[in-house]
Amino acid sequence: MLWPVTGRRHLAAEQAQRLADVRQKNPESETWLALVEAALAESQDATTWDPAVPAPVDGRPARAPLLHGAEVGVNRRSATRFVRRLSRLAGLDGGGATHLDALELLEAAIRQDDARIDALAAGDPSTLRVVAQVAVVPLLRACARTIASEVSAAWWEGYCPLCGAWPTLAEFRGLERKRWLRCGRCGIGWEMPWLRCPFCAETSHENLGYLAPEDGETTRKVEVCDTCKGYVKAEPTVSELPWWGVLLDDVATVALDVAALDRGYHRPERPGFDLEVKVVEA
């Protein structure tokens, strides 16, 4: 079989197949999927991104993700090449993307500092936000590969213990249906009990509920919280979803986002944690 070529790299057959499937069913998400495809391919380049991974800083506050306080040394040429590639795919040609400081964009993106990303945009800031979101994936994946084992088993927060992002989805895993929250940036997962809102820590069942899609699909649903009006998409899985499966399933379940937004639920505007990270030239 022919594998899609992305730059010089090929996707693994399983990734390519799942990507093709999601593409076919979600033609409206083509631009986003093209960016995700580039990020999947780039994430295979361990020689560029693994050396950037910092050691977690000792003495972090207990509620701080692993990357808090870290300094990340990134190869400027590789980062610039990747950010330019994403910018082209997103249609930012001629919009000043060639003058964009890739390291500054990566730093703003890891910190989820939208105001700073907007300030870097020469054209449409919303497109640059999308580019920024995908641009950090290879770097954060390298961090997940290298230091995720240092995540505390006692982690109890709703945001990612590595990068501080809110969970992209909740996974009900295996026969035991244990609830794992999954990060759509670094891809790691952390276990959290049922009936606990990741955003505001509400635990009263009277304020927590589900939305089920109307089109007859019963396996996927949306967890909602009436205390903070937050929502997170949820799906059952046989075994741990691969990290890239989190990214692709997020696209495959856009209908659930629409259903939640229609009913007045939303994703928090503020990041889960105000992460302090510096990105410097290696």
For the CB of residue 228, give the shortest distance to Zn ion in the complex, in Å: 3
Between 145 and 164, how does the x/- string for binding to Zn ion read (CB under 5 A)? ---------------x-xx-
Alpha helices in the chain (DSSP H): 13-25, 30-42, 46-49, 76-89, 102-110, 114-120, 125-135, 137-147, 243-252, 254-262
- Under the binding rule (CB under 5 A), the answer on residue 122 touching Zn ion is no
Looking at 227, 237, 254, 267, which residue binds Zn ion (CB under 5 A)? 227
Ramachandran region, residue 91 (left: φ > 0; alpha: ψ -120 to 50; beta: rest): left
Q: Nearest Cα to 219, choosing from 170, 167, 258, 278?
A: 170
Position 6, amino acid: T
First to last CA, the chain: 39
Looking at 228, 251, 254, 255, which residue binds Zn ion (CB under 5 A)? 228
In this complex, which beta carbon is closest to Zn ion, that of residue 23 or of residue 114?
114
Half-sphere exposure of 48 (CA within 13 A, CB side): 19
In this complex, which beta carbon is closest to Zn ion, that of residue 224 or of residue 252?
224
In this complex, which beta carbon is closest to Zn ion, that of residue 23 or of residue 145?
145
Site for Zn ion in 180-209 (CB under 5 A): 183, 185-186, 197, 199-200, 202
3-state secondary structure of 174: coil
In this complex, which beta carbon is closest to Zn ion, that of residue 37 or of residue 157?
157
For the CB of residue 225, give the shortest distance to Zn ion in the complex, in Å: 3
Site for Zn ion in 94-113 (CB under 5 A): none
Interface ranges with Zn ion (CB under 5 A):
160, 162-163, 165, 183, 185-186, 197, 199-200, 202, 225, 227-228, 230
